[in-house]
Amino acid sequence: MKSAPIPYGRQSISQQDIQAVVDVLSSDWLTRGPMVERFERTVADHCGTAHAVAVNSATSALHIACLAAGLGPGDILWTSPNTFVASANCGRYCGATVDFVDIDPRTYNMSVDRLEEKLEQAAREGRLPKVVIPVHFAGQSCDMNAIARLADRYGFTVIEDASHAIGGRYQGKPVGACHYSAMAVFSFHPVKIITTGEGGMVLTNSPELHERLVLLHSHGITRDPAHMVGAAHGPWYYEQIELGFNYRMTDIQAALGVSQMKRLEDFVERRQHLAKRYDDALRDLPLTLPWQHPDAYSAFHLYVIRLDLGRLGKGRREVFEALRAKGIQVNLHYIPVHTQPYYRALGFHDGDFPEAEQYYQEVITLPLYAGLSDIDQNRVIDAVREALQ
């Protein structure tokens, strides 16, 4: 009998999760209600952050975070080329110019050295970014302390794209604490650490940013008389005081989120355990294993191997296809964003960010999710060993 394919990532849904969603379906609220507030409080408390705003995706979260930071036409946003397109697109939604900072060859996160060099040059040319979005690739935090020091020196706002990283830690503090940033964003897409189906969240310690995020995620409408331009006409009255969106999360999604948060630590421990098993089983092969910075405890959203193509004597595509043929649904993270046709049309070229481009030629993402059994992981390990022979 042929074994079932092993995906690269998938959600883990318990009976308790299902019951939590069913309970909401028979309650008074389906759209934003008490469960969304509870989910926001639960995540904020986990991170030790003052405020959280739940939205319908991390993409929406990044968009309103950029708007709350005041990003607009004529401004510049920098992010990593080794990310999902949403980390860059949020700048374009605001009419800003987007540029990238090449990656660190060990962590595959934005390189702090390249960032510093680029800032020095941008300062000379009067083209400093207003917003920088470091992406915690694969769940491992960027060097936030160093990035925050540069933010102080050059005056940009830091928004952490922590889509991969809920449950991870940096210098002992939960990712999302916003100790070194203005805002942090999580994704709750099903392949991520916890899920709400679709969903995202912005965290911040700033009451002013929180107020802006609340307005922006729901049409720019306020019901608070203190924020109104005119006098309330009556108890029905609300005012739209700026242009916002309908990015609200539903109570149905939030119920799943609250229930999943109870297992966050178990999920990350399991991912760490599986990552360690991969490390031990693949160490002798011609490849580079994920390197871990001592300041970071990764949530291990992804386990990326980097092939030593010189020693291997075969191409990455061959290895990728051999694994897929065995039902191992390997994936690839990421095609450098600046090489996407949309960004090429804005003036980016091959060779602009050589480290990210070299990395892209050599990597494969192996299956990793909390529900991956040791037996299925052994199948992946055997298939990788065979493919690299």
Ligand X SMILES: Cc1ncc(COP(=O)(O)O)c(C=O)c1O
Give the binding site for ligand X (CB under 6 A).
57-59, 83-84, 86-87, 135, 161, 163-164, 187, 189, 200
Which of 118, 192, 276, 314 is an active site residue? Answer: 192
75 forms beta bridges with: none
CB of 59 to ligand X, least distance (A): 3
Phi, psi of 373 (to 5 degrees): -80, 160
Q: Which is nearer to ligand X, 188 or 297 (CB)?
A: 188
Q: Which is nearer to ligand X, 42 or 89 (CB)?
A: 89
Beta-carbon contacts of 301 under 8 Å, excluding residues fewer than 6 positions away, are: 9, 138, 139, 164, 165, 191, 192, 193, 271, 368
Q: Which is nearer to ligand X, 135 or 158 (CB)?
A: 135
Q: Token pair of 254, please? A: 């939030």
CB of 123 to ligand X, least distance (A): 28
Task: For residue 231, count CB atoms less than 10 angstroms from its CB and return exposed for 0-12, middle for 13-18, buried for 19 or more.
Answer: exposed
CB of 330 to ligand X, least distance (A): 17
Residue 294, Cβ neighbours under 10 Å: how many?
6
Burial 328-360 (b: 16+ CB within 10 A, else e): bbbbebbebbbbbeebeeeebeeebbebbbebb
CB of 366 to ligand X, least distance (A): 17
Indicate the pairing of strand 97-100 with strand 76-79: parallel
Q: Token pair of 226, please? A: 């203190």
Q: Which is nearer to ligand X, 98 or 319 (CB)?
A: 98
Q: Is 178 helix (H, G, I), strand (E, B) or coil?
A: coil
Q: Which is nearer to ligand X, 83 or 339 (CB)?
A: 83
CB of 108 to ligand X, least distance (A): 12
Contact 367, 95 (CB under 8 A): no
6 forms beta bridges with: 328
CB of 137 to ligand X, least distance (A): 7
366 forms beta bridges with: 303
CA distances (Å), origin 74, targets 95, 115, 128, 289? 7, 21, 11, 41
Residues written for the chain: 389
Q: Is 192 a catalytic residue?
A: yes
CB of 97 to ligand X, least distance (A): 19
Q: Which is nearer to ligand X, 160 or 376 (CB)?
A: 160
Q: Which is nearer to ligand X, 144 or 381 (CB)?
A: 144
Beta-carbon contacts of 202 under 8 Å, excluding residues fewer than 6 positions away, are: 52, 53, 55, 61, 64, 65, 68, 183, 184, 185, 213
What residues are labeled active site? Answer: 192
